[in-house]
Amino acid sequence: MTKIAILCVDDEVVILDSLKRQLKRHFGPQYIYEVAENVADAWEVITDLNDEGVNVLVVVSDWLMPGVKGDEFLIQVHQQFPNVIKILLTGQADETAIRRVKEQANLHRYLDKPWQEDDLINAITTGLENL
C-alpha cells in the first residue's frame, strides 16, 4: 500500500505545530504529516519522501516567507507534481499572488489566517475526493 503525506510549509513553528495537531486529530494515522519552515526544507522533505516511496498528495503553504513566497513555491510544486492538492494559508497574500497561483498552479483553496479548523479539514477532504 502506498503511503501518503500531507506537507505544511510556514516560517512560524507555532503555526506548523497547530496545523499538524489539527490534521492528526482529524485524519489520524492514515497519513504521514510533515512540516517545513521554508521552501528549501520543503523541497528536501518532498525529495526524501519520494525516495522512500511516499506520495505527497497535499501541500498547505503560507504565502509570506523569507526567500521564496508561497505562490511561487506552489507553482513550482504544480510543475513537478500537477496532481498535488495545493492550499494557500495566509493572512497577507495579495490578490495578484492568489490569482497567479490559481491560474498557474491549480490552487485548490485559499484560507485566511487565522483559519478555522473545519475549513482546513474541508479543504483537504474535498481536494482528496477530487483525485
Report the amino acid identity of residue 79: Q
Sheet holding 3-9, edge to edge: 32-36, 3-9, 54-61, 85-90, 109-112
The stretches in the chain having pLDDT less than 70 are 1
Q: Which three cell numbers stand for residue 30?
A: 492514515
Q: Where are the domains of the chain?
A: 3-129
Please give the Cα distance from 119 to 131 (Å, whole number): 19
pLDDT computed for residue 15 by the predictor: 97
Q: CATH homologous superfamily for 3-129?
A: Response regulator (3.40.50.2300)
What pTM was estimated for this model as a whole? 0.96
